Amino acid sequence: MTSAQTGKKSEETPLPSTPLPTKRNEVFLEYTKSICPICKDVLDAETFAQDNQIFLRKRCPEHGEFTARTYGDAEAYFATMRYNKPGTFSRETQTEVKDGCPLDCGLCPEHKQHACLGLIEVNSNCNLDCPVCFADSGTHQPSSFSLTHAQIEKMLDTFVAAEGEPEVVMFSGGEPSIHPHILDFIALAQEKGVKRVVLNTNGIKLAHDKGFARALGELQPAIYLQFDGFDEATHLTLRGRDLRKAKQAALDNCAENNLWVSLTATIEKAVNEHEVGKIIEFGMGHPAARAAIFQPTTHAGRMIGFDPTTRLTNPDIVAYICEQLPAWFRKSDFFPSPCCFPTCRTITYTVGNGKTCIPVPRLIEIDDYLDYITDRVLPDPDDLRGALEDLWSASAIPGTAITDEHISYLEDCAACGITTPAILDDLADQVFMIVIQDFQDPYTLNVRQLMKCCVEHITPDGRLIPFCAYNSVGYREQVREQLTGEPMPSLIPNAGEPAPLLTPTPYGSQTATPATVHLTQARAKKDHTTARNRTNTGKNLR
Amino acid sequence: MNRTPDSSPVASHPNSSSPHTFDEKPAAGRAARGLASKPTDLDQYASQPASSLGEDDLKSCCASFYQEDLVAKVLGESYHPGGLRLTRRLGAALDLQPGEKVLDVASGPGTTAFLLARERQVEVEGIDLGQETVAKATDQAVAAGLDGKVHFTVGDAERLPVPDASFDVLICECAFCTFPDKTVAAGEFARVLRPGGRLGITDVVIDPNRLSPELRSLAAYVACIADARPLQAYQTLLESAGFEITQTETHDGALAKMIDMIGARLDLLKMTETPLLANVTSAEITARVTQCRTVVEEGIAGYALLTAVKRDEIRPQTR
């Protein structure tokens, strides 16, 4: 306080000790809903900008205030908004609107987008015990499940009923490659008319079982291979084992069997963010790799400790890529995916031969096609917009026929001013995709994004639950309890902050201490009508 | 120096010994289209004594003389810096009203004409030098059901084939810089607009005086793409022709983006191992593109939007 502000008055009577109004050092942006990461109650939340970054903040009356960093570049955040494509209705929804988002999954009729990608976790068993696992899977857990052919068929039928001709089904786990019937499941999905089938794997079985690789080669699913980097420390921190040799062998076996691979990296701050450039370079040089997918660690399930206010987001990964490969990339080469909420997924494509790397967005004026807010687009008789929309969506899986067709088409079109398509045909194999996907966790969950999510968990009881709701709100625990018959504790991120409230589960994740649970239950008993959704309930809360 | 750039991509075809296979697409980028009416400039270029150019300049100009053809092709027919977004911006700046008559000089494949006809409900006459370009644009207009509102005619910006005072608005995107006689072209713009008619131009601007010595040789190259001038020079030119400038904006990012696009498309062509680029290495392409970007980043070259109104009476310039 300056003397000018306090003025003469201070000489006469002492001022009450109330400080002068001070300016907030943040810009309030929007009012939305989230959940308490501890008790999972639905809470009012707000997003705000500070230091050119975006944050989400909420306050639980029981467990206090939680702030999480959700987008590392505020300017880019605002720029992404015009890429927000109007959603598409599903053919049918699976639930009714009752308690409001995110408690009615799903999909409920309020959901804003159909499912581009349906995810099926075929088991909870794994051949690894990674320190980081949003699915809380492992080798020797107190309870586990493994789905049957009949269950998978029902799930696929649910998806087909909702989508007609589903774009993508991804088999995951656990570790799906160790499920004895995984090959049947892949074939079944293909028979049901799913356009692109993907196998998510850590690659251990692919590395050691040539017969399995050959069998996959016949079915031709696309492979999402867990691939976090090249440093031993990265492997030990994220996976608990040095898997470098296995990854190389898995990739080589894929190449041998014409399986196209997307290298899928979990990126954790201060662990492997320095390796994103190398992963891209390596991928471009390996004959089987067609994409690199970077996912800032999903802080749900099992994890190493983290700080929600400094966690990595999409623009951070873009910045690392540009820093590490300055000759190849600039920030402007990356565009948001319009089908989900545009801050969730960022994509680019390159044409390259190891020496040259050309980001595809430099070849086309993408803004002329993907601007949905003004929605005034170029007359587009060739439907270049359609090709771009597919390529910039969760359905884009390099190595699948449809995506490759769109890539070739885009190249031809992009190049139509320069040459005949024939010359460029050879280049289709040299296209490399880069995806950055920030999944939400109990800290960052924002219903605004969730309502437009296009990556859905297909559950055995016939629901399609948005991936981030599944991992954050309590659906995973609910489904796992159904499938194993064992009670599952409600999982809480290991964020350091609420440490006194946490205790480890037998699965390696964290849950609330009995005292915390007791508090939450007591409150629920007292006021059961508002216990789950405490939004807009007046004096009871705020 | 300013004359040498006048060699046009189209005009260079007969003299070019490059074994490329692009002849089926004679209409080059619109940026160069305005030049095509001056094939004699080629001869000027050829007959210019080498002594009038620095050796580096000459080399660079020779290289770019060759590349320019490529650059125009690499950009395709429809591209201009800023894309549709800047076209819309121009439409808004001109406050186009439904039913107004608009002349689009150097209309290329008609993208701008179609956009303005659809979104602003104006009637557009497109003028372009390329016969095939005009034929193609006309077909497109029919296909799009816009042939009632949009027409295309072959014509030269310096001798516009339209009557005096016959248009409400004239637009010219990324082409004015390429017109060899800008005074004549500006006079034509004034002639065909009604009194009070509006002019909208987007174009490359460059300040040759600010080029550092090491970038000086680049001037020839940049100038080869476009005989661009500083924004102030365009303003003076138009004022002399009877216009009052109403608005100017800079959009330098659009030019940087276009340079990126040229670089990316050259790289792509290089990857196809086309004989067209046999004499250039990837490193040389990268170096050239980087140089060009530097020129934009330093504010020496840029892109501008300018609107003007035709004064009711043209006052004599000297009094």
> Above pLDDT 70, what percent of chain B?
67
Given a cut of 60, is residue A264 above it in pLDDT?
yes
Average pLDDT over residues A130-137: 92
Q: Which tokens go with A129?
A: 């015990």
Distance from CA of B62 to the nearest CA of A (A): 21
Flag the least confident range among A55-69, A107-121, A306-320, B274-288: B274-288
| A230 against B38, higher pLDDT | A230
For residue A105, name the pLDDT band (cuts at 50, 70, 90): very high
Q: What's the pLDDT score for residue B225?
A: 53
Q: What's the pLDDT score for residue A542?
A: 23
Domain extents in chain B: 1-11+21-310
Q: How far apart are CA B227 and CA B180, in angstroms?
A: 8
Q: What's the pLDDT score for residue B218?
A: 54
Given a cut of 90, is residue B284 above it in pLDDT?
no
Say which of A363, A368, A371 has its CB closest to residue B265: A363
Tell me the per-residue pLDDT of B99-110, one tens digit each, with 9 for 90 and over: 999 999 999 888
Q: What's the pLDDT score for residue A289?
A: 94
Say which of B73, B84, B264 has its CB closest to residue A358: B264
Cβ count near B290 (within 10 Å): 14
Average pLDDT over residues A81-95: 89
Q: How far apart are CA B203 and CA B234, in angstroms?
A: 10
Flag the least confident range among A154-163, A379-388, B34-43: B34-43
Average pLDDT over residues A323-329: 94
Task: Tell me the CATH class for B1-11+21-310.
Answer: alpha beta
Average pLDDT over residues A140-163: 94
* Chain A with chain B: Cβ pairs closer than 8 A: 77
Q: What's the pLDDT score for residue B75?
A: 58
406-435 in chain A: CB under 8 A from chain B: 415-420, 423-424, 426-427, 430
Q: What's the pLDDT score for residue A464?
A: 95
Is residue B267 helix, strand or coil? helix
Identify all chain A residues contacting B261, using CB atoms and an 8 Å cutoff. 362-363, 365
Mutate to test the interface with B, among A365, A385, A413 (most CBs of B within 10 A): A365
Mutate to test the interface with B, among A329, A331, A349, A419 (most CBs of B within 10 A): A419
Given a cut of 70, is residue A482 above it in pLDDT?
yes
Top-confidence range, A141-145, A493-497, B72-76: A141-145
Contact (Cβ atoms closer than 8 angstroms) between residue A385 and residue A369 = yes
Flag the least confident range among A258-267, B273-282, B286-295: B273-282
B-chain residue closest to A358, CA distance: B264
* Sign of the torsion angle spanned by Cα atoms A475, A476, A478, A482: positive
Given a cut of 90, is residue B70 above it in pLDDT?
no
Whether pTM exceeds 0.90: no
Q: Which tokens go with B225?
A: 């793409």
Residue A203's Cβ-count burial label (10 Å; 0-12, 13-18, 19+) is buried
Cβ count near A424 (within 10 Å): 22
Tell me the per-residue pLDDT of A25-65, one tens digit each, with 9 for 90 and over: 999 999 999 999 998 999 999 999 999 999 999 999 988 99
E strand or H helix that includes residue B125: strand B123-128
Tell me the per-residue pLDDT of A198-254, one tens digit each, with 9 for 90 and over: 999 999 999 999 999 999 999 999 999 999 999 999 999 999 999 999 999 999 999
Flag the least confident range among A195-204, A319-328, B208-217: B208-217
Of B203, B223, B234, the residue nearest B292 (C-alpha): B223
Q: How far apart are CA A264 and CA A227, in angstroms?
A: 5
Q: How far apart are CA B315 and CA B319, in angstroms?
A: 9
Of A68, A501, A469, A529, the residue nearest A541 (C-alpha): A529
Tell me the per-residue pLDDT of A368-399, one tens digit each, with 9 for 90 and over: 777 777 666 555 656 777 888 888 888 888 77
DSSP lists the bridge partners of residue A264 as A226, A293
Tell me the per-residue pLDDT of B236-254, one tens digit each, with 9 for 90 and over: 999 999 999 999 999 998 8
Q: What's the pLDDT score for residue B267?
A: 82
Given a cut of 70, is residue B48 above it in pLDDT?
no
Quick check: A356 and B21 CB within 8 A? no
326-385 in chain A: CB under 8 A from chain B: 327, 332, 351, 353, 355-356, 358-359, 362-363, 365, 367-368, 371, 376, 378-379, 381
Distance from CA of B148 to the nearest CA of A (A): 17
Flag the least confident range among A77-86, A204-213, A291-300, A495-504: A495-504
Domain extents in chain A: 180-448
Q: What's the pLDDT score for residue B5?
A: 34
Dihedral of the alpha carbons of B286, B291, B292, B298, in degrees to the nearest 10? 140
Across chain B, what does the average pLDDT equal?
74
Identify all chain A residues contacting B274, using CB atoms and an 8 Å cutoff. 419, 423
| B72 against A339, higher pLDDT | A339
Across chain A, what does the average pLDDT equal?
86
Quick check: B272 and A419 CB within 8 A? yes
Given a cut of 90, is residue B80 above it in pLDDT?
no
Given a cut of 50, is residue B116 above it in pLDDT?
yes
Quick check: B271 and A351 CB within 8 A? yes
Q: What's the pLDDT score for residue B74?
A: 59
Average pLDDT over residues A121-130: 96
Of B297, B296, B282, B291, the residue nearest B218 (C-alpha): B291
Given a cut of 60, is residue B43 above it in pLDDT?
no
B-chain residue closest to A427, CA distance: B272
B258: CB partners within 8 A, 6+ apart: B75, B79, B80, B81, B303
Taking the domain A180-448, which CATH number applies? 3.80.30.10
Given a cut of 60, is residue A456 above it in pLDDT?
yes
Q: What's the pLDDT score for residue B186?
A: 96
Q: Which tokens go with A433?
A: 């995709």
